[in-house]
Chain A
């Protein structure tokens, strides 16, 4: 085990994407944690008298139209993005993986049904449906989590199903089957461990997509509501002030882009790292 581990970490260090992506992602998560205990100013505190001030000593990144400190809002927005993305991807994982594994194990009508259901879900452009769902059940962070989460389920289900099917067709698994081991046991012992890498990589990518989706929903007004700070909403507020304070439109978008970039790089790096392992799915029981 240690040899493999040494090899892994060596490859990891040499993998540029992983390092850079990992650093950005770590910084992002650190900021999110930090915001729980401290931000330069309370992110929701208004100071109308000093509204729309530019870069300066008191407010490093200036203030918005209500006098709120932009830097604090950006940091607090990190927390918001993380929360929504974690729950949304979590929903996708917790529901999608078991469903996909089930479909691969059972085949037959269960599989067909699941494929059709996921087809139908994929037919609805995700953002559009998230908008409709939040329009119906009400806007807000929690409902965004649900709406985005719903669209993560078929992604993980399909991924799990596809990879699991390949594993099911392997010799040693067929052998186990003949020996009388049940579908659940086989799934638990052989299928899932070999999918772990694949799922983790996909989860990272879905995490990035969830952050983009949350930002989009908030921009349109269906996501996180005031007074909770949110990058997407900062962008929509800034659009009417483009010629007065362009920095208000640039900074939140930059935050989103950098975070998503970091996550994508990290995910790609992880995939490169785990790739050889994914190639031969499972060396035995």
Chain B
């Protein structure tokens, strides 16, 4: 008896003495992502995939967008705006170091901004900096920015991934060895496979709970499902296989969180090309579309139908879905009126995502019912950018515009929709000058109505954020106010 007790006590002692891996909280995370970033410098490329890895984790800007879409201070502790809205004075944080040990100070901000604004800059969002007249360091930790004209969203703009602060010592190599000021540092990139980050001990803020993060590249929906079920990955913030969500939800191991994104999924119409230059034809297309069927068939029910280019979760949203109900007869009548009683043929270019490929098949079937025969042309993003976006050589295409508050693109000169409307441009001008939320919301509402009236594009649905992760994981974003996987507040429940 005594021997048994002794054995038991020894076992207990040994068990407790072993570095309590059974009791310690997990510090590593494997996150699944669909698109591999071409490189890791957010200031040198527009791919959302870059921000999904580095934003808030590796790089920081003067400000940061948080999970609610609000602007919070980051490398700028605080700021003052002059009365005329044209002068910003930023008070920078002290004691901040880059991952390579160099210290952060005002010179780095000036360098980053000037680099982005330079003539030979490869920053994809040069437009963010367009309003800047000059940037000067007025002290080691103070920067003054002069704007050409007041810009209400300036601090929001500075929170974009393209506006993060980089150091002159490391800027050249950021593509392959990103060096920022964030709570994580870059460890390793196995091309086509995974990207590894580890906690940065010199971080100025509170240390994140996670010590090691691996972004695993899983481009295919089927592979994503399997990886999730097998436990190969802990989280998939933008799960690409909505067909599997129901099954994952019923499994107690996983949490499924459906949130919102800023992605308006639309059938873009080339407004300059006949017959699409005729508004009746565009309206016919709008009536031929059955948004509910598309959401059901392509997204397995996840997604909210929209009637114009605006996110339903935004306070300024106006519900225009009913403006063009699913009405094939009305569509045929409109086509007849426009002189296309026999219908016509056109092409539909589809980039890789399943909302486009699957949605596209359904759209083609729906339009076929009213006499519009579409030839489906699947293309890669490369060609989409070249042919559709730059070349504007297309009839129809399906794409999701994921930048926040991007209704302004309809007023942009030469934007690929080829939509020219002075009335719309006037609204956008007014928006820039609008002083309070009420005025802004009113103008935004008018803008949405105008787009719907002109049936500029076939507005389908707002892309949902399909978040799937281990039930014990907390702190991941529910919504995507910007494309990012902010891991600073993510932790494992013990």
Contact = CB atoms under 8 A, between A and B. Distances in A.
Interface of A: 44-46, 48, 51, 65-67, 138-139, 221, 225-227, 239-244
A223 B222 CA distance: 20
Given A48-B293, A66-B297, A240-B222, A225 B378 contact: yes
A278 B225 CA distance: 55
A223 to B, nearest CB: 11
8 contacts: A66-B365, A67-B297, A139-B378, A225-B376, A240-B244, A243-B225, A244-B243, A244-B247
B377 to A, nearest CB: 7
Q: How large is the interface on B (under 10, 10 to 19, 20 to 34, 35 or more residues)?
A: 20 to 34
B225 A240 contact: yes
A46 B297 contact: yes
Given A44-B365, A66-B361, A138 B377 contact: yes
Contacts of A138: 377
A46 B243 contact: no
A142 B360 CA distance: 21
Interface string B357-397: 01011101100000000001110000000000000000000
A127 B78 CA distance: 60
A67 B366 CA distance: 13
B365 A227 contact: yes
Contacts of B243: 65, 240-241, 244
Interface of B, secondary structure class, is helix
B362 A240 contact: no
Contacts of A66: 297, 358, 361-362, 365
A48 B378 contact: no
B221 interface: yes
B365 A243 contact: no
Contacts of A48: 293, 296-297, 362
A243 B221 contact: no
Contacts of A242: 222
B362 A46 contact: yes
Interface in B212-252: 220-222, 225, 241, 243-244, 247
A44 B366 CA distance: 11
A139 B352 CA distance: 14
B361 A226 contact: yes
A67 B221 CA distance: 20
Residue from B247, B364, B365, B378 having most chain A Cβ neighbours under 10 A? B365
A227 B221 contact: no
A46 B377 contact: no
A244 B247 CA distance: 9
A270 to B, nearest CB: 39
A121 to B, nearest CB: 26
Residue from A66, A225, A240, A241 having most chain B Cβ neighbours under 10 A? A240
A244 B229 CA distance: 14
Given A46-B297, A65-B297, A244-B243, A226 B364 contact: yes
Contacts of B221: 240
Nearest to A52: B243
Contacts of B297: 46, 48, 51, 65-67
Interface string B251-276: 00000000000000000000000000
B37 to A, nearest CB: 22
B90 to A, nearest CB: 48
Contacts of A45: 365
A176 B454 CA distance: 80
A221 B378 contact: yes
B254 to A, nearest CB: 15
Contacts of B296: 48, 51
Contacts of A46: 297, 361-362, 365
Contacts of A51: 296-297
Contacts of B376: 225-227
A219 to B, nearest CB: 13
A154 B397 CA distance: 40
A226 B222 CA distance: 20
A227 B364 contact: yes
Given A48-B297, A65-B297, A66-B358, 8 more contacts: A44-B365, A46-B362, A48-B296, A67-B297, A139-B378, A227-B361, A240-B243, A243-B225
